[in-house]
Chains A and B, each alone.
Chain A
Amino acid sequence: MEIHLDKPIPLIDLVATLKLPSAEIAIAAVNGTLVSLHDALISDEDHVELHPPCGGG
C-alpha cells in the first residue's frame, strides 16, 4: 500500500488512520530499522512494516 504524506507524522497516527489495532502490532520498522510504534515519525517515501506478534511454527 502506498500513502503520500505532505509532512512527517507520528507512526501511531498512520496506524489510527488505517484503523489498525495498535495492540496487535508487535514489530514496527521504518526503512529496515526497528522503531517504537508510539514514538516514531514517518515521512513521505519511508518504507513502513507492521507485523503482529508471532510464535512457534
Chain B
Amino acid sequence: MAYGTRGKILRVDLTQSTFRVEQFSEEFYRLYPGGKALAGYFLLSELAPNTDALSPDNLLVIANGLLTGAPFSTATRFTVAARSPLTGAYGESEAGGFWGPELKMAGYEAIVISGRAAQPTYISIHDDKVELCDATELWGHEPEEVQTRIRAKHGDDRVRVLQIGIGGENLVRYAALSNELRHYNGRTGMGAVMGSKNLKAIAVRGSGRYIDDSHDARPITDLGRTLAKRVKDHPQSWDLQVKGTPGLVGTLNTAGILPTRNFRQGVFEGADKLKWEAYEKDLLSGRHTCYACAIRCKRGVKVNDRYQVSDVYGGPEYETVEGFGGYCGVDDLQAVAKANELCNRYTLDTISTSSTIAFAMECFEQGLIGLKDTDGIDLRFGNVEAMLTTIDLIARREGIGQLLAEGSKRAAEIIGGGAPLFAMQVKGEELPMHDPRGKVSVGLGYAIGEHGADHLYTVHDTLVANADSITFKGAASLGIEALPARELSNAKARNYAILENWCSFGKVVGLCYFGPAPRSFIQIEEVLMVVRAATGWDMTLEELLRIGERATNLARAFNIRNGFSRKDDTLPERLFQPLENGPMAGATIPRQEFQNTMDDLYRVKGWNPATTAPTRARLSELGIEWVADMLGV
C-alpha cells in the first residue's frame, strides 16, 4: 500500500453506538485517492436519493487526501461531505489545520458516520482505540471550553478536536466545523449535519508517521525543504505570507470588482479601512500556519478597544473581511473582527452568514421586511450593531435569526415579493466575495459547481491571462491558453474544464488551493513527483487530471439523482445586470455569451447539455461505468 494511506475506513453507526474498520484495496484507492473522491464515492453509492439532509439517514463522510500529512507545505487538507441541508445537493467543504494530518497518523483515511446518537456524543480516536463518549456536558458550550475539557479528560494537550458550536447544534443550515479553534470546514452546512446526528466533536490522536521505511521518501522530504526556501522567492506565496488573504481587498477594490452591498457595486468607499495594511495596524496579534506549511497565511487578531475580540479563534480571512465589511456596508475593521469571532464561537460559515445578512439588509431597505419582522433592529447596510446582533440571533435561531438561519434562498421564498432577486445564491449556497463580472471563470464555477456558488472550483482568470506571467507559465503544462479575464468563449470553457480538474485533484489528495501552480509556488511537475513517490504508482499528469474529473463526475451524478438539472446551473439575475459604480461600472455578464459558453463547457466535460448528466462514454473513460448504470445513461 502507498505511503499516503493504510487503507482503513472507520465506520461509525451512532444509532447503534457501534463502529468497525474496513480495509480497501490499492486498486480502489487509485480510482478514489482520498478527499472529495472518497466522499463522492460513498455518498453516491450508499445514500438513497432525496434523503433528508438532517435525518439520521444522511451520511457524514470525513476524508483525508492521499497527501494529507505529507511533510511539505500545503499538504494539510481534509474534506467533510454529506447531502447538504443548505442546498439539497452534494455538500462539501475542505479545511486545513492539523486535524487531518492527525487522523492520518492515527491510521485512517476516512470516517463514515451514519445514524443519530441518542444523546450528545463525541468520538475519541487514539490509533486503534475508538470510543463513543458522552458529550452531554459539552453540548451548548463554546469551542474553546469544549476543546479544553476533552483534552483534560484524555490527559493529553495534543489531542486534535474537530467540533461544532451552537450553530451546528441548532441546525443553522450553513453551520461549520472547526478544528484547533482556528480552521474551518465552512461551506454547505456540514456542521448542521453533524448537529443533527447529536455529534459534538471528533477527538483524534495518532502516533504514526506519514512516511515509513518501505519507500524512498526523499522526493517528499526534499520538496518540503525546497518549498521552505522558495516561499520568499515566489510572488504568490510571498504575497500570501506578507499580506495574508486580506491582501485581496485593495486589489479587488482597485479593479472595481470588490463585492459591495450585496453585489450592487464593485467599489467600496470604505475599503481603505479594511485593507491588509489597516489589518496589520489595528488587529494583528500574530501569524499562524497549518501543519508543515511555510506560507503562514493565517492571522491571529486581538482587540481591546471599541470591541473585545479574543485571539483564541483566529483572524478573519479575506472572505470574512469583505463579507462583514463592504458587502454589508461596514468600514469598521474591529467590528468585522468581532463578527468573525462570533461566527467562529458559534461555528457559522462566515460567507453564508454575511451574505444572508446582506440579503436581509437589502430586503429591509427595500421595505420587504420591517421593524416588526426584526424585533426593532434597524437592519440597514452599514449598521454595525444590527449586523452583530443578527449573527447572535442566527446562531440561536431567535427572532429574525430563525428565518435567516435557513439561508438566503429559503428566507427569500418565505419573504416573497421581490426578495429572491436579492438572494445572491446558486443552488441555495451563497456567493463568496468574488464578482464574475470581472473574472468570468468564477461565474462558470458558481453556475456549474457541484455544491453551489464557491470560489475554489477553478483558477481565477487573472492568474492565467498573461502568457509571460509566472502564474501562467507555472501551469502551462496543463494545456491551458492565456485568455483575457472577461472573455467568454469555447477556449475559456476548455480552460475552465482543465483548471477545474486540477483544482478538484487538489481536493482529492489534500492539497491547499494556495499550494500548486498557477495559484502558488508548487510546480505541476513537483506535484506529479510527490504523488509518484507517495504511491509508487507510475502516474502521469493526465491521470492526475482524470482523478479530479472523476471526483467532479461523482458529485454531478449525486446531484442528478437528487433532481438537479440545467435550470439549477445558473447565476443570480443581478450578475447579468450592470455594476453600479467604479471603473467597472456598467459591466455585466453577457447573458447569451454566458449560455453559449456553458453549452461549450458541458460538451468539453462530456456532459449532456440538456440534462447536465455525464455521458456513459465519459464515465467509461473515467473508469466509473457503474455510475452510468446507476444513472441509466
Contacts and interface: CB of A to CB of B under 8 A. Distances in A.
Nearest to A50: B254
Contacts of B471: 24, 53
A26 B460 contact: no
Interface residues of A, number: 17
Contacts of B582: 32
A1 interface: no
Contact of B460 (A24, A51, A55): A55
B579 to A, nearest CB: 13
A57 B460 CA distance: 10
A18 interface: no
Interface in B455-470: 455-456, 459-460, 462-463, 465-466, 468-470
B226 to A, nearest CB: 21
A33 interface: yes
Contacts of A32: 254, 582-583
A28 B525 CA distance: 32
A34 interface: yes
A2 B478 CA distance: 41
Interface string A23-57: 11011010011100000000000000101111111
Contact of B250 (A23, A26, A51, A56): A51
Contact of A52 (B235, B318, B459): B235
Contacts of B236: 52
A32 B470 CA distance: 26
Nearest to A32: B583
Interface string B577-588: 000001110000
A32 to B, nearest CB: 7
A49 B235 CA distance: 17
Interface in B238-252: 239-240, 245, 247-248, 250-252
B492 interface: no
Nearest to B464: A53
Interface of A: 21, 23-24, 26-27, 29, 32-34, 49, 51-57
11 contacts: A23-B466, A27-B462, A29-B255, A34-B255, A34-B256, A34-B584, A54-B248, A55-B462, A55-B518, A56-B513, A57-B317
Given A53-B463, A54-B247, 13 more contacts: A23-B468, A23-B469, A27-B251, A29-B254, A32-B254, A32-B582, A52-B235, A53-B466, A54-B251, A54-B463, A55-B460, A56-B460, A57-B317
List the 5 closest pairs (A to B, CB-CB), nearest first: A57-B245, A23-B468, A55-B460, A53-B462, A56-B455
